[in-house]
Chains A and B, each alone.
Chain A
Amino acid sequence: MWKDIPLVPENASTIATQVDLLYWFLVALTVFFVVLIGAVVVGLVAYYKKRDDGRKAVQIEGSTALELIWTGLPLLIVVGLFAWGTSLYVAMQKVPADAVDMYVVGKQWMWKAQHPTGVREIQDLHVPVGQAVRVTLTSEDVIHSYFIPAFRTKQDVVPGRYTQMWFEPTKIGTYDIFCAEYCGTGHSAMIGKVTVMEREAYERWLSGSTGEPPEVAGRNLFESMRCGSCHPVDAAVKEIGGAPPRGPLLAGLFGKEVDLQGGGKALMNDEYIRESILKPQAKIVANYEPVMPSYEGQLGEEQILQLAAYIKSLKGSP
């Protein structure tokens, strides 16, 4: 009967074993101290129970040596645990260089995911085994949290900003996706499945679905929104409509720093692109006028992600 009751979550990502090792160490430590204190207390109570023979309590003021020992020992233990936990966490935060990008948008009460090829799915996520995946997340309404217990990781999905998580699945199978941050009436229905597949099966699954890659969708959007009437996407373009471009060049800048009006620098990343679309006045690139209108309310989070993917794909030296 007990075999039917899973007491531990599936172990299906590269970090799961490491996290579990620390977890079970902590469990052992807890059991050790609870048993130790329990045994000491029960032993003392049994031995020093009030007796009728007139035995009196012996008054003891305290012991500085003992206090130092039982202050120092827990201190050493927690410092050790901190070192272990933090070094593991820092390692867990490093995204492998070959990670592929996927995008997840949360909204009450569904998960919308998009693959590098543009294939979309609702609630669920399909990923190839042995491939690191970096997921960029944002929310259209309230805070959610993308939680995959089998991968031992979760990331809050916050409206108004991008957060990132990554994982590398190690085991083929189907695992739960939960929303872990309470988000309203349908919170416990905001669940899906992540399916880890062989790479070929994943490719077959991808080709069975339609959709365009986010950077292609982004280019189409870029054109239909006429972003190019101000922003050149090629360093060779020196004039737009007979005048110098009103907006800064977008190509080849991703991941680099740009100089800002009034001094300072800003790192050109997803977050900066998003901010510049929604709040163009926030960080003006040096030597440009603050003429761009806000696109707040005109573009959805998925469209902004697509534009960012397109801008990221623009190569060339500025």
Chain B
Amino acid sequence: MTGSTDMGSMATTTGHAAAEAPRETYLTNGYGWKSWFLTVDHKRIAILYLISVTFFFLIGGLFAVLMRLELATPRADVVDAETYNRLFTMHGVVMIFFFLVPSIPAVLGNFLVPIMIGARDLAFPKINLLSWYIYVVGGIFTLIVAVSGGVDTGWTFYTPYSSTYSNSQVALTAVGVFITGFSSILTGLNFIVTIHKMRAPGLTWFRLPLFIWAQYATALIMVLGTPVLATTIFLVALERIFRIGIFDPTIGGDPVLFQHLFWFYSHPAVYIMILPGMGVISEVISAFSKKRVFGYSFVAFSSLAIAILGFMVWGHHMFTTGQSVYASMVFSVLTMLVAVPSAVKVFNWAATLYKGSIELTTPMLYALAFMGLFTIGGLTGVFLGIMAVDRHLHDTYFVVAHFHYVMVGSMVMAFLCGVHFWWPKMFGRMYPEFLGRFAAIIVFVGFNLTFLPQFVVGFQGMPRRYHVYPEEFGVMNLLSSAGASILGAGYILPMFYLAWSLKWGKKVGPNPWEAKGLEWQIESPPITHNFHGPVRVTEEAYAYGEEPTHGHATNTHGQKEATSVR
């Protein structure tokens, strides 16, 4: 927010359009705290989210740093067991509920969904602001938990440990996560209504950018899945506070029931976290190959296929609980089927490169890294979907490595990819490209050095959530900790040069990447209502074949030629 004042004097050079006077943008049409905290502009709300999720990413990252320090040696030498258990729990809770779930939808989705579909804002701008406030309230609860002793149940809150035995801040954490869930539900609802009802004339479903398809699939999961999580957490709180027997067998409950309810949300939640990232990758690969995404409709439908299949695989977390072999078989085969639409996406992205005109910019480096890391993350998921192998690998570091390849190697890469790609659109200024590429390479190397050894140590048999471990796992853990320090440096670097660019970055015009899409036809940064007039879309998404690069759907400076049908 502090940067906004400086941006007041910033006249974006939209070619010949705004050369005369400082142009008013969404960043300059108000400066007081009210103009931010009472804003209903989806772009300002996106910036609020960007600041908040970055804050929580740093908090979650700090917990990870302390964990990797502790795990550098087999002995307990940095923190004691109680502290360590709180560290990994808080790391998971913060990263999943306060960074990964909201990251791409609430930051990039908020900023881009209305613009990409030619709308002035989301369908419910005030509800959009409300969802940010709900997120903040949930976040404050979590911070209170962190400073008042922490919580030690693991982010999975398995009963009856969480509901009866743990004497940490379980109830307070539950309240925080419960509240934050409503933030996702409202964002999901807002996106679904907006995408259905507010597309510009001519923007049919199959002309939508794939980013929108991915956001749509994500929003469906948010709306259908999150209420189950809220209910489950509510039940844990009921049992913990009022001793009503739901999950604790000593008072008549069933502990495995919790796992069913929890994973019914939390497995689809993995796809809440990865699908928006896939949407970003589709946009970026297309933009820097100057080509339409290969097999558009297959990529679009693969998002929906992943969203639907994702709801039917939760039992693969329970192969070792004593679940019936027949139930496990069904969950196993459905789990492995998810690999098919995932593979379809990767193959289509690779095919998009064919006969392209490829530029290895910072966002493109992140996108290519995503393809590699997601391939590893996805295929190692197949290991865990196979019951005979999962029997050995379940709850070991192999699982930790697998989901970090998906959640961090893929999703955080995609988030950084998207932030770098749309940064000039959001702030009208460019970051130093050399530093961008340098950081991307550091992140890629650091990530692999951190998490590849964890596959090895997992197969060796090291269980997850171990504060101390036998000597034989020492070498791989030391390698992993060393990698984490490189990865950490890679994550810190962009924060500096991106902040620097807000004031000193080179000013850019509407379309610095020469990319297609409505967002690249409006000024950088955009005006409050995005477009100067009604928008009409007359062409397919990614229409790279047509010349010139602008002036088809709408006019570059002001959409004056566009005709209204409403």
Closest residue of chain A to B88, judged by CB? A182
Q: Which residues of B contact A61 (CB under 8 A)?
A: 292, 296
Assess whether A60 is in contact with B395, with CB atoms less than 8 Å apart.
Answer: no
Please tell me if the beta carbons of A81 and B353 are within 8 angstroms of each other in the complex.
Answer: no
* Per-position 1/0 for B285-319, Cβ under 8 A of A: 00001111011111000000000000000000000
Question: Is A110 part of the binding interface, using a Cβ–Cβ cutoff of 8 Å?
Answer: no
Contact A23 B459 (CB under 8 A): yes
The majority secondary structure among interface residues of chain A is mixed
- Whether B368 sits at the interface, judged by CB under 8 Å, is yes
Least CB distance from A70 to B in Å reads 4
Give the CA-CA distance A5 to B357 in the complex, in Å.
47
Instruction: Give, as a whole number of angstroms, the nearest-CB distance from A185 to chain B.
Output: 5
Q: Determine if B250 and A30 form an interchain contact, defined as CB atoms under 8 angstroms apart.
A: no
Q: Could you say which residues of chain B place their CB within 8 Å of the CB of A161?
A: 249, 322
Query: Which of B325, B376, B386 is within 8 Å of A30, CB to CB?
Result: B376
| Known A-B contacts A66-B351, A67-B344, A145-B320; A19 and B357 likewise in contact (beta carbons under 8 Å) | no
Contact with B along A135-159 (1 / 0, CB 8 A): 0000001110101011011111011
Residues from chain A with a CB closer than 8 A to the CB of B465 are 182, 187-188
Tell which of B249, B294, B346, B380 touches A60, judged by Cβ atoms closer than 8 Å.
Answer: B294
- Interface assignment of A9: CB less than 8 Å from any CB of chain B: yes
**Does A97 sit at the interface, judged by CB under 8 A?**
no
- B residues less than 8 Å from A158 (CB atoms): 255-256, 321-322
Instruction: Name the prevailing secondary structure of the B interface residues.
Output: helix
Q: State in angstroms the CA–CA spacing of A315 and B150 once bound together.
A: 55
Assuming the contacts A45-B368, A62-B295, A160-B250, asked whether A6 and B472 have C-beta atoms less than 8 A apart, the reply is yes
Tell me the smallest distance from the CB of B262 to a CB of chain A, in Å. Answer: 13
By beta carbon, the residue of chain A nearest B286 is A57
- A-chain residues with CB within 8 Å of residue B475 when the two chains form the complex: 5
Q: Name the residue on B nearest A58 (C-beta).
A: B355
Q: A92 near B357 (CB under 8 angstroms)?
A: no
Q: Check A85–B387 contact: CB distance below 8 A.
A: yes
Of A44, A62, A154, A179, the residue contacting B392 (CB under 8 A) is A154
Q: Which residues of B contact A150 (CB under 8 A)?
A: 461
Shortest C-beta distance, A271 to chain B (Å), equals: 10
Closest-CB distance, A236 to chain B (whole angstroms) = 38
CA distance A92 to B390 in the complex (A): 12
Could you tell me the distance between the alpha carbons of A10 and B261 in the complex, rounded to whole angstroms?
36
CB-contact partner of B460 in A9, A49, A55, A180, under 8 A:
A9
Q: Is the CB of A156 within 8 A of B294?
A: no
Identify A86's interface contact among B81, B291, B294, B329, CB under 8 A. B329
- A29 to B, closest residue via Cβ: B379
Q: Beta-carbon contacts of B17-53 to A below 8 Å, as 1s and 0s?
A: 0000000000000000000000000000000000000
Among A175-227, those with CB < 8 Å from B are 176, 178-189, 191
Q: Are B81 and A143 in contact (CB under 8 A)?
A: no
Q: How far is the CA of A46 from the CA of B279 in the complex (A)?
A: 24
Are B165 and A34 interface neighbours, CB within 8 A? no
| Chain B contact residues, CB within 8 Å of chain A | 81-82, 85, 152, 154, 156, 158, 160-161, 164-166, 249-250, 253-256, 289-292, 294-298, 320-322, 325, 328-329, 332-333, 336-337, 339-340, 343-344, 346-348, 350-351, 353-360, 368, 371-372, 375-376, 379-380, 382-383, 386-389, 391-392, 394-396, 456, 459-461, 463-470, 472, 475, 544-545
